Chain A
Amino acid sequence: MAEEAVISKFPNPFPRPKTNRGWISWVMTVDHKRIGTMYGITAFVFFLVGGIEALIMRLQLARADSDLVSPEVFNQLFTMHGTTMIFLVVMPIGAAFFNWMIPLMIGARDVAFPRLNAFSYWLFLSGGLFINLSFAFNAAPNAGWFGYANLTEVPYSLGDNTTFWLIGLQLLGVASLAAAFNFIITIINLRAPGMSFMKMPVFIWMSLIVQILLVLAFPVITVALIELQFDRLYGTNFFNPVAGGEPVFWQHMFWLFGHPEVYILILPAMGIVSEVLPTFSRKPLYGYPFVVMAGASIAFMGFFVWSHHMFTVGLGPAANAAFALSTMAIAIPTGVKIFNWIGTVWGGQVRLQTPMLFSLAFVALFIVGGLSGIAHASPPTDAQQQDTYFIVAHFHYVLFGGSMFGLFAGVYYWWPKFTGKRLGETLGKWHFWLMFIGMNITFFPMHWVGLDGMPRRIFTYPADSGWETINSWSTIGAFIIALSILLFIVNYFRTWRREPTYEADPWDGRTLEWSIPSPVPVYNFKEIPTVEYLDDWWAQKYPESVNAEPRERSPGQPAPAGAEDMLPLNGQDVSSYGASSYGDDEDHGIHLPDKSYYPLIAAVGFAFFGGSLMSAWWLTLIAGFIMMFGIMGWIFEPVNDPPPEEENPGGHPEGYSAEAGH
Chain B
Amino acid sequence: MWTFLGSECMFFGSLIATFLVYRNQSTTGPFPDEIIDVPITTVSTFVLLMSSLAMVLALNAVQRNQANLGRFWILMTALLGTIFLGFQAFEFNEFFNEGLTPRVNLFGTTFFVLTGFHGAHVTVGVIWLLVMAGVITPKGLSAWTLLGAVLGAYAILVGILGLLDVIRNLSDVGAVIFIAAGAVVMVAAGLKHFSIPTKLNVASQAGNLEVTALYWHFVDIVWIVIFTVVYLVSANDSIETSEAIISGLHGGG
Q: Which residues of B contact A202 (CB under 8 A)?
A: none
Does B7 sit within 8 A of A, measured CB to CB?
yes
Within 8 A of A (CB), among B1-56: 3-4, 6-8, 10-11, 13-15, 18, 21-22, 25-28
Does A624 contact B14, Cβ atoms closer than 8 Å? Answer: no
Within 8 A of B (CB), among A614-655: 617, 621, 624-625, 628, 632, 635-636
Does A8 contact B22, Cβ atoms closer than 8 Å? Answer: no
Chain A residue nearest in CB terms to B142? A9
Q: Which residues of B contact A11 (CB under 8 A)?
A: 143
Does B113 contact A216, Cβ atoms closer than 8 Å? Answer: no
> What 1/0 mask marks residues of chain B from 105 to 118 whose CB sits below 8 Å from any chain A CB?
11011101100010
Chain A residue nearest in CB terms to B114? A223
Does A617 contact B170, Cβ atoms closer than 8 Å? Answer: yes
| CB contact between A224 and one of B7, B14, B135, B170 (< 8 Å): that residue | B14
A218 and B7 alpha carbons, distance in the complex (Å): 8
Does A238 contact B143, Cβ atoms closer than 8 Å? Answer: no
Q: Which residues of A contact B150 (CB under 8 A)?
A: 628, 632
| CB contact between A9 and one of B13, B143, B154 (< 8 Å): that residue | B143
Nearest-neighbour CB distance to chain A for B36, whole angstroms, equals 19
A215 and B5 alpha carbons, distance in the complex (Å): 10
Does A177 sit within 8 A of B, measured CB to CB?
yes
Nearest-neighbour CB distance to chain A for B60, whole angstroms, equals 17
Does A222 sit within 8 A of B, measured CB to CB?
yes
Does A235 contact B103, Cβ atoms closer than 8 Å? Answer: yes
Does B200 contact A2, Cβ atoms closer than 8 Å? Answer: yes
Q: Which residues of B contact A181 (CB under 8 A)?
A: 3-4, 7
Known A-B contacts A9-B143, A244-B22; the reply to A3 vs B138 at CB < 8 A is no
Nearest-neighbour CB distance to chain B for A526, whole angstroms, equals 30
Chain A residue nearest in CB terms to B168? A617
Chain B CB count within 10 A is highest, among A3, A222, A244, for A244
Does A246 sit within 8 A of B, measured CB to CB?
yes
Does B109 contact A625, Cβ atoms closer than 8 Å? Answer: no
A216 and B150 alpha carbons, distance in the complex (Å): 32
Q: Which of B81-89, B201-209, B220-228, B231-239 contacts A (4 or more CB under 8 A)?
A: B201-209
Q: Which of A65-73, A226-234, A593-601 contacts B (4 or more CB under 8 A)?
A: A226-234
Does A636 contact B109, Cβ atoms closer than 8 Å? Answer: no
Chain A residue nearest in CB terms to B102? A236
Does A175 sit within 8 A of B, measured CB to CB?
no
Does B137 sit within 8 A of A, measured CB to CB?
yes
Chain A residue nearest in CB terms to B14? A223
Does A237 sit within 8 A of B, measured CB to CB?
yes
How extensive is the interface on chain A, given as a class? 35 or more
Does A249 sit within 8 A of B, measured CB to CB?
yes
Does B136 sit within 8 A of A, measured CB to CB?
yes
Within 8 A of B (CB), among A171-185: 177, 180-181, 184-185
Does B160 sit within 8 A of A, measured CB to CB?
no
Does B7 contact A227, Cβ atoms closer than 8 Å? Answer: no
Does B158 sit within 8 A of A, measured CB to CB?
yes
Chain A CB count within 10 A is highest, among B6, B14, B18, for B14
A312 and B3 alpha carbons, distance in the complex (Å): 36
A2 and B137 alpha carbons, distance in the complex (Å): 7
Nearest-neighbour CB distance to chain A for B26, whole angstroms, equals 6
Does B139 sit within 8 A of A, measured CB to CB?
yes
Does B141 sit within 8 A of A, measured CB to CB?
yes
A219 and B14 alpha carbons, distance in the complex (Å): 8
Does A219 contact B7, Cβ atoms closer than 8 Å? Answer: yes
Q: Which residues of B contact A621 (CB under 8 A)?
A: 158
The secondary-structure label for the interface of chain A is: helix
Does B10 contact A219, Cβ atoms closer than 8 Å? Answer: yes
Q: Which residues of A contact B112 (CB under 8 A)?
A: 236
Q: Which residues of B contact A59 (CB under 8 A)?
A: none
Does B169 sit within 8 A of A, measured CB to CB?
yes
Nearest-neighbour CB distance to chain A for B158, whole angstroms, equals 7
Nearest-neighbour CB distance to chain B for A147, whole angstroms, equals 16
Q: Which residues of B contact A249 (CB under 8 A)?
A: 18, 21-22
Does B154 contact A624, Cβ atoms closer than 8 Å? Answer: yes
Does A563 sit within 8 A of B, measured CB to CB?
no
Q: Which residues of A contact B137 (CB under 8 A)?
A: 2, 5
Does B246 sit within 8 A of A, measured CB to CB?
yes
Q: Which residues of A contact B158 (CB under 8 A)?
A: 621
Does B141 contact A184, Cβ atoms closer than 8 Å? Answer: no
Does A548 sit within 8 A of B, measured CB to CB?
no
Q: Which residues of B contact A253 (CB under 8 A)?
A: 14, 18
Nearest-neighbour CB distance to chain A for B159, whole angstroms, equals 12
Q: Which residues of A contact B99 (CB under 8 A)?
A: none
Chain A residue nearest in CB terms to B169? A617
> What 1/0 mask marks residues of chain A from 207 to 227 whose CB sits below 8 Å from any chain B CB?
000000001111110111011
Does B183 sit within 8 A of A, measured CB to CB?
no
Does A3 contact B205, Cβ atoms closer than 8 Å? Answer: yes
Does A2 contact B140, Cβ atoms closer than 8 Å? Answer: yes
A246 and B7 alpha carbons, distance in the complex (Å): 25
Does A136 sit within 8 A of B, measured CB to CB?
no
A628 and B167 alpha carbons, distance in the complex (Å): 19
Known A-B contacts A6-B135, A216-B6, A227-B18; the reply to A244 vs B141 at CB < 8 A is no
A648 and B138 alpha carbons, distance in the complex (Å): 27
Chain A residue nearest in CB terms to B26? A244
Known A-B contacts A244-B22, A617-B170; the reply to A1 vs B14 at CB < 8 A is no
A635 and B205 alpha carbons, distance in the complex (Å): 14
Q: Which residues of A contact B15 (CB under 8 A)?
A: 223
> What 1/0 mask marks residues of chain A from 185 to 217 whose CB sits below 8 Å from any chain B CB?
100000000000000000000000000000111
A219 and B8 alpha carbons, distance in the complex (Å): 7
A218 and B14 alpha carbons, distance in the complex (Å): 11
Q: Which residues of A contact B142 (CB under 8 A)?
A: 9
Does B57 sit within 8 A of A, measured CB to CB?
no
| CB contact between B102 and one of A2, A180, A230, A635 (< 8 Å): that residue | A230
A200 and B25 alpha carbons, distance in the complex (Å): 50
Q: Which residues of A contact B13 (CB under 8 A)?
A: 219
Does B146 sit within 8 A of A, measured CB to CB?
yes
New A-B contacts (9) at CB < 8 Å, excluding given A180-B7, A223-B18, A242-B27: A2-B140, A5-B200, A234-B102, A238-B22, A238-B106, A243-B27, A243-B105, A249-B18, A624-B154
Binding site for A on B (CB under 8 A): 3-4, 6-8, 10-11, 13-15, 18, 21-22, 25-28, 102-103, 105-106, 108-110, 112-113, 117, 131, 135-143, 146, 150, 154, 158, 167-170, 200-202, 204-205, 246
